[in-house]
Amino acid sequence: MSLKKINTVLAAAFILFILWFGTEFVLSPETAVQGFGLPGRLSGDGAGFLVVKGVRDIVLALVLGVLLVTGHRRALGWALLVEAFAAYGDMANVLAHHGSVAIAFGVHCLTATLMVVNGLMVMRETRETVVAPAASRIPRAA
């Protein structure tokens, strides 16, 4: 299997995963929060912030999806690298609020790191090959 196919499958998997996760936070925030890793239950109007998180994830997935479908592979690589910060931020949020260390590293950190790897692989796939200029022939002095 070619590097381009592997990168496409991985990027598509990230898109579907992020889209599914974001949709779950929009449609059922009380249920989705249990798998996020933060301790405790929602209090007051906290569910509104979970919907914001869901919308953020949906937008992140749509950006990746548009770049994948339109064939802008180099931009897709950059977007994967940049969007990994959202997952690293989720990890930091869970750890800062004394949430589940297992979920922080096993879900958020792993996802972010795999996005970085996929982004770097797409960048490698799309790098331009630099051709060395032909050596100029300079006559040697006799």
**What SS3 string covers the chain?**
CCHHHHHHHHHHHHHHHHHHHHHHHHHCHHHHHHHCCCCCCCCCCCHHHHHHHHHHHHHHHHHHHHHHHCCCHHHHHHHHHHHHHHHHHHHHHHHHCCCCHHHHHHHHHHHHHHHHHHHHHHHHHHCCCCCCCCCCCCCCCC
Total-model pTM: 0.83
Q: What is the mean pLDDT of residues 114-118?
A: 97
Residue 13 pLDDT exceeds 80: yes
Average pLDDT, the chain: 89
Beta-carbon contacts of 99 under 8 Å, excluding residues fewer than 6 positions away, are 36, 37, 38, 39, 93
Residue 130 pLDDT exceeds 60: no
Predicted pLDDT at 7: 94
Q: pLDDT band at 142, cuts 50/70/90?
A: low
Q: What is the mean pLDDT of residues 128-132?
A: 60
Q: What is the mean pLDDT of residues 61-89?
A: 97
For the chain, first and last CA: distance in Å? 55
The answer to whether the CB of 80 falls within 8 A of the CB of 115 is: yes
pLDDT in tens, 29-43: 888 888 888 887 666
